Amino acid sequence: MGCIKSIFLVRESETTKGAYTLSIRDWDEVRGDNVKHYKIRKVDSGGYYITTRAQFETLQKLVKHYTEHADGLCHKLTTVCPTVKPQTQGLAKDAWEIPRESLRLEVKLRQGCFGEVWMGTWNGTTKVAIKTLKPGTMMPGAFLQEAQIMKKLRHDNLVPLYAVVSEEPIYIVTEFMSKGSLLDFLKEGDGKYLKLLQLVDTAAQIADGENLVCKIADFGLVRLTEDNEYTARQGMVNREVLEQVERGYRMPCPQGCPESLYELMNLCWKKDPDERPTLEYIQYFLEDYFTATEPQYQPGENL
């Protein structure tokens, strides 16, 4: 046939806000290699469906059902469409300073007192996140020195620096993370409805950009930003927060958070770095969390 039938992907609908589309690769003698699209609708009360006779609580359960039964689709779902990971090693390898004209700003994602973050395209081919900084908010010399180090840092769970425009207004070009910041994801949209099991799993795997994978961003840039004041909801500015933490203040246990997880948080907040757990320990702790705590932990409604 020349293609693998039933490769599929689920994506946000391009025409209907809040809906999704299931795209399945197919083949027949008349049309040859083709793709069929099925709209996934969201129920107001929660849940998803392609046809009203089969509704599911989550997209994951919907996909699982159609991997077992075609149930009106052209085929059962078999293979997830592979995601091509960004090739970061070769990008701007010898010349990370790029011309501003090679970047196209397309969608403004957010705006702050220091600048803006845009989704854009680099060289007309690569989707990237572009941070534009207002003049005076970054020390160019210090940033360029730091950027030299950042270019060498490569890890699946670090958002890589691709390139920069060092003349003001400074542009910082990084990998584009489609889900945005983890905080915004957890406070808005589908992220609000994640259960404890999913939250722990996400924290453990620091997953994979497009699949609830968390990555560290802005490392090394924060201390270079000439920060004035950030006012938290409680009314404290940065200086007051620092003073409170140095006096030993730590955030109280969040509502609904198991005590064992809060104990892990407090270990991570130890003043002496040598007393803090390693990332390896944290990963193992979270991966084995439900097994290790099963005798003491009773699942509640938030599971």
Structure tokens at 295: 């005798």
Which residues contact residue 252 at a Cβ distance below 8 angstroms, ignoring those fewer than 6 apart? none
Reference 5, options 70, 50, 65, 61; nearest CA is 70
Q: Does residue 145 contact residue 166 with C-beta atoms inside 8 Å?
A: no
The conformation of residue 102, written as its DSSP 8-state character, comes to G
Structure tokens at 181: 């910041």
Q: Does residue 8 contact residue 25 with C-beta atoms inside 8 Å?
A: yes
Distance CA 219, CA 235 (A): 26
131 is in an annotated binding site: yes
Q: Does residue 73 contact residue 24 with C-beta atoms inside 8 Å?
A: yes
Distance CA 238, CA 221 (A): 17
How open is the CA angle 212-214-216, to the nearest 5 degrees? 165
Distance CA 43, CA 23 (A): 20
- List Cα–Cα distances, 46 to 41, 55, 57, 59, 232, in angstroms: 10, 10, 7, 11, 32
Reference 250, options 237, 235, 264, 229; nearest CA is 264
Reference 120, options 131, 111, 112, 110; nearest CA is 131
Secondary structure element (H or E) that encloses residue 63, with its range: helix 59-68
- Known binding residues for ATP are 131
- Known binding residues are 131
